[in-house]
Amino acid sequence: MPRGPQGQKRPADSIGCAVMVGRIATGEIEETLKEPSGKVRSGKAGSKARAEKLSQEARSAIAKKAAAARWG
């Protein structure tokens, strides 16, 4: 059986998947999600700290550099 993005078991065929989605929507079955890993939590905390430390001009310069790299 295929696995979802967080390791959930998923049906391989489209009809089985549709039935499962319907059951989740109506509350027949409960979908349990994993807790975020430590890497995810520390990454979010680090990005928040970096954003607070940078000035508006520095954030703008970083964004312009990223846009130039992306769109060439």
Nearest CA to 7 out of 38, 39, 37 is that of 37
Q: What SS3 class is residue 55? A: coil
Nearest CA to 4 out of 39, 30, 37, 31 is that of 31
- Backbone dihedral angles phi then psi of residue 11, each to the nearest 5 degrees: -70, 145
Tokens of 27: 């509350």
Q: Is pLDDT larger for residue 30 or for residue 71?
A: 71
9-63 residue pLDDT tens: 778 888 888 998 899 899 998 877 778 788 888 988 998 999 899 999 999 999 9
Alpha helices in the chain (DSSP H): 14-26, 38-53, 56-71
